[in-house]
Structure 1
Amino acid sequence: MTFETLIYEKADRIATVTLNRPHTGNALSGQLRDELDLVMDDLDHDDETRVLIIKSAGNHFSTGYDLKEFSYLWDEHSAINEQQRRPHSRSPIWSRHRFHLSRERWMRLFHLRQCTIAMIHGHCVAGGLDLVGVCDIAFAADDALLGQPEARAMGELHVFAFWPIHLGMRKTKEWLFTGDNMTGKEAEELGLVNKAVPHDELEAVTRAYAERVANVPLDAIYSHKEITNRWFEAAGMHAGIAAANDLDAMGIAGPGMDEFTQVWREGGVRPAVRMRDAPFKPHRTYLEAYEARKAGWNGPEGD
């Protein structure tokens, strides 16, 4: 199968999907998600493939959803088709509907029969974490950066990246309240990824795990997945994710977005994101800001 935004390959009972929009930081466009649906269509009928590895070309795993395709929510002149130009398209009730549909598409990957493995390098933020969240296993380069910067303005993620499940209550809040990025090593310590390794070992380590899983019958892999997943579904996982979709739709129409929206309308997405993130630079986390303060640094954060 040949795609425009993905590279899809199979060998030795292992399938590999490579996100192939490096010029955008592998931002998740509508076309990319449509093509990923076609990959899942193929795997639904493939009884030989046991593992799906998801990786990316270029410098980053994914910089999130392609915001150019959502800009009509803040600026009606940015609409790219007739559907987006319809007045009701900017209503929170219809945003909620689209976000729930997006969640359902991600959950299809969550329930895929094959073992799914995310292979993370560079930045993996915002919507990229939705993709990682629904994978069974995640390996990361130890210097990768994972986070939800949209938490500073713009709302929630469509499956909330499964953070409450992977990180627990207190750690989810600690990282979500700031929108800071964690390294691959920190993500391993927190339970967001299974293993963090040096960047030049990432592919080999991921393949070593995939090759062992590929020796297990597909029906056994699927059974293991469903048994494990059911524990969290019974605990209310779906209700929690649905709440994220509801609050996302309300959040992007709320007062917290006013300044972001104004900058977006005047200059586009990049200036708006720079404005959003400016108070948090130049330090990656509050601990780095604290250490800089102890060392006598006095900068834009008021340290």
Structure 2
Amino acid sequence: MTDHHSSPVTYSVRKNIAYVTLNRPEYSNAQNSAMTYALDDALIRAVNDDDVKVIVLTGAGKHFCAGHDIGTPGRDVDQSFPRRAIIHWDHVGRDGADARLARESEVYLGMCLRWREIPKPMIAKVHGACIAGGLMLAWACDFIVASDDAFFSDPVVKMGIPGVEYFAHPWVMSPRIAKEFLFTGDRFDARRALEVGLVNQVVSRDDLEDRVDAIAERIAKMPAFGLALTKKAVNQAEDLQGFRSGLDSVFGLHHLGHSHNAEIAGDSLNGVDVRGMKS
């Protein structure tokens, strides 16, 4: 079954695999809150379906995800949504850092941490752009298979902010490579991403679907509880290396950057728009 194409996220199941697709191709799958909550709905649906053994996350159109929505007509930063990731007051009606912290704790950091704990294996199938907020979605998955036309970047240092909210950079790459990635804002092509450990496998664009399907079908043969325990075991090991506390500490620096921008420039993004973010 597949949901209506107008949804910001579509969902289908085939051979015990749930395919969750970001569906704002006209905006390179930029994430607004409507997409974030639709993605959460789809992932809840997959978790609750005992026939689903593996979840594949991908994007419709030319790109996986070009990041947070900072300029489309569907940008909904001023709208309320039912909060799920954390218990906090709504950002709407709040001012300054209070509003930013409430919103980003929920829809950015909180949602990614929520999805990281899903007890079923998640594969990110990445083609085209995987930029800034798109990295967070891919990194919340268990591993990444990329096409040879994929590229990765986190250019938000241009805003005076130390990377996206889900600051997994020093764990998915070495700290030295993470500094290069962030200091330059440069794009890493698929081959460089593979070289530094940012992705698991790279295949041709034509072979991407078949490769991901084959991996997902192989994993789907494993016992579901065994997979859930193994995922938790690896996540716990990562947390013992400081992952969770590291994310929380950098989230504070992220918001210090936003607040500094608002104080100095009158804009939490330091006047950087979509065009200015292009690396």
TM-score (norm 1): 0.79
Pair 1:50 & 2:53 matched: yes
Pair 1:95 & 2:100 matched: yes
1:211 to 217, 228, 243: 217
Question: What amino acid is the match of 2:171?
Answer: I
2:166 to 145, 154, 159: 159
Change in 2 beyond 3 A, CA 1:112/1:84: closer
Following superposition of structure 1 onto structure 2, how do residues 60-99 of structure 1 map, counting pairs within 5 Å? 60-68=63-71, 80-81=78-79, 86=93, 88-89=94-95, 91-99=96-104
1:13–1:50 CA contact under 8 A, matched in 2: yes
Pair 1:122 & 2:123 matched: no
Following superposition of structure 1 onto structure 2, how do residues 236-251 of structure 1 map, counting pairs within 5 Å? 236-251=242-257
Following superposition of structure 1 onto structure 2, how do residues 1-303 of structure 1 map, counting pairs within 5 Å? 2=3, 4-68=7-71, 80-81=78-79, 86=93, 88-89=94-95, 91-101=96-106, 102-153=108-159, 155=161, 156-160=163-167, 162-255=168-261, 261=267, 272-275=273-276
Question: Equivalent residue for 1:284?
Answer: none
The size of the alignment, in residue pairs, is 265
Name the structure where helix makes up a greater proportion of residues.
Answer: 1
Change in 2 beyond 3 A, CA 1:15/1:92: same
Query: SS of the residue aligned with 1:67?
Result: coil
What is the rounded CA distance, in whole Å, between the counterparts of 1:185 and 1:200 in structure 2?
A: 16
Q: Deviations over 1:241-267 (max 9, x none)?
A: 1122212212122149956949987xx
Cα deviation for residue 166 of structure 1 reads 1.2
1:153–1:260 CA contact under 8 A, matched in 2: no
Question: What amino acid is the match of 1:224?
Answer: T
Structure 2: give runs of 5+ residues left out of the alignment. 81-89
Cα deviation for residue 79 of structure 1 reads 7.1
Query: SS of the residue aligned with 1:177?
Result: helix
Structure 1 stretch displaced more, 128-137 or 92-101: 92-101
Cα deviation for residue 64 of structure 1 reads 0.3
What is the rounded CA distance, in whole Å, between the counterparts of 2:221 and 2:243 in structure 1?
A: 30
Larger Rg: 1
Cα deviation for residue 55 of structure 1 reads 0.9
Indicate the RMSD between aligned Cα atoms, in angstroms. Answer: 2.8
Structure 1: give runs of 5+ residues left out of the alignment. 73-77, 281-303
